[in-house]
Amino acid sequence: KSDRRWWKESVVYQVYPASFKDTNGDGLGNINGITAKLDYLLELGVDVLWLSPIYKSPQKDMGYDISDYYDIHTPFGTMDDVYHLIAELKRRGMKLVMDLVVNHTSTEHPWFVDSALSKDSARRNWYIWRPPKYDQEGNRQPPNNWACLLDDSESAWNYHPGTDEYYLSLFSPYQADLNWEDPRVRGEVHEIARFWLETGVSGFRMDVINLISKDQRFPDAEIMHPRKKYQPGDKYFANGARLSEYLQELKRDVLSKYDVLTVGEMPFLDDEEQRLEIVKAEEGCLDMIFTFETIGLDIVPEEGRFSFRPWSVDELGKVIDRSQSMITQMGWESLFCENHDQPRSVSRWCDDSDEHRVAGSKLLCLMQITLTGTLYVYQGEELGMRNMPAKWGPEEYKDIESISYWNWVCSKWPEGSPERERAKDLLRLKARDNARTPFQWDATSNGGFCPAGVKPWMRVNDDYPIVNAAAQVAAGKANERTVLVPPYRFWQRALEIRKRYADLFIYGTFELIKDTHPTVLAFMKSCGCGSDVSITVLNFSGKEAEFVVPAGYQVRSWALGSYDSLSTERPKEGLIQLLPWEGLVGCLY
Ligand code: TEU
C-alpha cells in the first residue's frame, strides 16, 4: 500500500489537443502549441502530461475514432513534433502518457474497410458482425436492442447492405467495436502499445477499456426506458468475463517490460470486488482506474446523461469514503473532478458566478489535493474555467453527443416548448462541450488561443478577459492582500504542499468526519510514520456553515483556505464559522 511509486506521486495534467494552443493559425490546437507551453505546466507543478488522442482520425468523435494508430492527425502535426515534445518533456523531468483507444476504431481504419468488404475477408472477424433479425411484420431489425452510447435514440448496431449484416458500434456509427475474442486483434493492440512505449511514452490512459470483453450471446437488454426503442446494454458489454484475462495478457507481454503508468477508464463499474481485482497491487492488471461514482451523483440513471438530480454532501462523503478506504488499501485510486467528457467542475459542483467562482474552484482543489491517489488535473481547471455562457445558442455545440441529443429533441418537440427549454438547460449543465472551449491564455482576442484574426474551431468563452492564465500568473506577483489569490496561484501552492507532505496527502489513511453540518464535507488524513494528522473542511454551499474541530484535537495551523489569509486565521479549536464555498486544510495536534 505505502509502496512508493512515481506514478502515485505524479500530478497528471490532461491536455485536449484541439483546444490547448494553436501556433499555426488554423484555429485548432496543435502539438507544437503544447510543446510551447511546457514551462507553464512545469511551474504549476505538473509531472505527467496525458494527451487526448492525436492519432490520424476522421474526427467524428474528436480523435476517439482512430484510423491509423501509427500516425498523427495532420492538423495536429507530425511524428517529428511528437519526438520533439517528448524530448522537451524529458529535459524538464516530465513524462508523456498517451490515450490508447482500442475498444473500437474508426470505420475508416483499413482493418474495418477490409472487414466490411465481404464475409470472407481475412479481417471479417476483427469486428463484431451479426445477421439481422426480423420482426413479425418481416421488417429487418438489429441483432439486439442495445442503445448507442453517444445517442440513445439510436441502435448500437449498424446495417451494412454490402454483406447484409450489422456491425456493433457502441459509441457512434463511425466507431466500430473491435472483436477482442480474436487473438490477432489482441496481437495488434500489443504491437501498438509497444510502438508507443518504444517511442518514449511512459504509459497509457485506456479508453473505455472495460468494454473489450462482451457477452458473446449478445442478449437483449432489460427494458429500462419503456418509451424508448433501444435500451442500455452495459450489463452485457461492460466488465465481461475475459476482461482481466485480456488485460493480464497485455501486462505480461508488453506493459510489464516498461516502467509505466496505466489507468483504465471504466464506466459502468460499481462492483468493489471487481475494481479491486483490476487494481490490486502486484497481481492487478492496471495501476488504477477512472470510475464515475462521484461524477454520477447529479445524474438520474434512468434518464441518462442529460439529466439532473440534486446531490447531497452526505452522499459525496460516502462515495469518497468507500473508494478511499477500500481501493487505496490494497490497490490504488485516481482522483479527478474534470475531463473532456464532463462539464466544468466549478459550474457543476459549486457556483460559477463572479462572486463565488474563485472560492469554489479553490474548495475543489483542496478536496483533491488532500485525498489519497494519483491526481489528474484537466486543462483550465487550474484557472477555474467555467461552462459555456448561458446565452450561447445550441449552434455553439460541436460534440457529436450534444448534436445528436439536440437533433433528437428538435425532432420531438417544437421550438419554444417546455421540453426544448429543459433540454437547453440540460445541455448547458452537462454537455461535454463545456470542457472543450479553447484554453484561455490571456486577455488578447480569442483569449490568446490562436493568432489574432483567426477563427477558433470552437468559440472562446466570453469571460476570457477576466479568466485567463496570464492574469492569474501575474496576480501572484502583485501581492495585493485584499484581492483573493487566483486559482492558478492557489493550485501551484496546493500541489507543492501535497508533495511536501506526501506521506499524509498522497499515501495517508483517510477518515471521514461524521455528523457535520449538512453542507460540510470534512475528513482527516493520517500516516503511520509520525504524529501528523491533517484536516480538510469543505463548505459545499453558498451560505455560511458551522464546523466544530473534533474533540481532543487542536489545529496547529491552517495551511490553506479558499479565502487565503482570512481563512488561515480561523480559530484553532471549537466552533468555526465557514464562509460560502470555503475550503480549509490544516494540520492537527
Ligand atoms: O468516454 C467514455 C464514456 O463513457 C463517456 O463518453 C461518457 O459518455 C461520459 O463519461 C459519461 O459521463 C470515452 C472518451 O473519454 C470519450 O470522449 C469518447 O467519446 C468515448 O470514450 C468513445 O471513445
pLDDT at 386: 98
pLDDT in tens, 369-384: 999 999 999 999 999 9
Q: What are phi and psi of 376, to 5 degrees?
A: -115, 125
Q: Is the C-beta atom of 341 inside 6 A of ligand 1? A: yes
Distance from C-alpha of 149 to C-alpha of 157, rounded to nearest angstrom: 11
Q: What is the mean pLDDT of residues 7-24?
A: 98
Contact between 101 and 64 under an 8 Å Cβ cutoff? The reply is yes
Measured in Å, residue 151 CA sits from the centre of ligand 1 at 12
Does the pLDDT value for residue 477 go beyond 70? no
Q: Is the C-beta atom of 186 inside 6 A of ligand 1? A: no
pLDDT at 2: 59
* Closest-lying ligand 1 atom to the alpha carbon of residue 400: 19
pLDDT at 326: 83
pLDDT at 329: 82
Does the pLDDT value for residue 227 go beyond 90? no
pLDDT in tens, 114-126: 999 999 999 999 9
pLDDT in tens, 432-459: 999 999 999 999 999 999 999 999 999 9
* Closest-lying ligand 1 atom to the alpha carbon of residue 150: 8
Angle of helix 243-253 relative to helix 183-199, nearest 10 degrees?
40
* Closest-lying ligand 1 atom to the alpha carbon of residue 101: 23
Q: What is the mean pLDDT of residues 53-77?
A: 98
Measured in Å, residue 188 CA sits from the centre of ligand 1 at 23
User: Nearest residue CA, atom 2 of ligand 1?
Assistant: 208
Q: Is the C-beta atom of 60 inside 6 A of ligand 1? A: no
Q: What is the mean pLDDT of the chain?
A: 96
Does the pLDDT value for residue 568 go beyond 90? yes
Q: Are strands 545-548 and 575-578 parallel, antiparallel or unpaired?
A: antiparallel
> Taking the complete model, does pTM exceed 0.80, yes or no?
yes
Contact between 382 and 127 under an 8 Å Cβ cutoff? The reply is no
pLDDT at 475: 87
Measured in Å, residue 136 CA sits from the centre of ligand 1 at 36
Q: Is the C-beta atom of 579 inside 6 A of ligand 1? A: no
**At CA 277, angle to CA 271 and CA 279, rounded to 5?**
100
Measured in Å, residue 545 CA sits from the centre of ligand 1 at 36
Residue 277: all three cell numbers together: 481485482
SS3 251: helix
Q: Is the C-beta atom of 267 inside 6 A of ligand 1? A: yes
Q: Is the C-beta atom of 64 inside 6 A of ligand 1? A: yes
Q: What is the mean pLDDT of residues 450-476?
A: 95
pLDDT at 1: 46
* Closest-lying ligand 1 atom to the alpha carbon of residue 342: 12
Query: What's domain 6-103+183-471's architecture?
Result: Alpha-Beta Barrel (3.20)
Contact between 104 and 176 under an 8 Å Cβ cutoff? The reply is yes
Q: What is the mean pLDDT of residues 558-571?
A: 95
pLDDT in tens, 317-332: 999 999 999 888 899 9
Share of the chain above pLDDT 90, in %: 94
Q: Is the C-beta atom of 366 inside 6 A of ligand 1? A: no
So which residues are the catalytic ones?
A: 207, 265
Does the pLDDT value for residue 192 go beyond 70? yes
Domain edges within the chain? 6-103+183-471, 110-177
CA 236 to chain centre: 24
Which residue out of 54, 64, 376, 430 has the highest number of ligand 1 atoms within 8 Å of its CB and is therefore the one to mutate?
A: 64
pLDDT at 327: 84
pLDDT at 528: 77
Distance from C-alpha of 32 to C-alpha of 20, rounded to nearest angstrom: 10
Q: Is the C-beta atom of 171 inside 6 A of ligand 1? A: yes
Fold of 110-177: Oligo-1,6-glucosidase; domain 2 (3.90.400)
User: Nearest residue CA, atom 7 of ligand 1?
Assistant: 341
Measured in Å, residue 471 CA sits from the centre of ligand 1 at 32
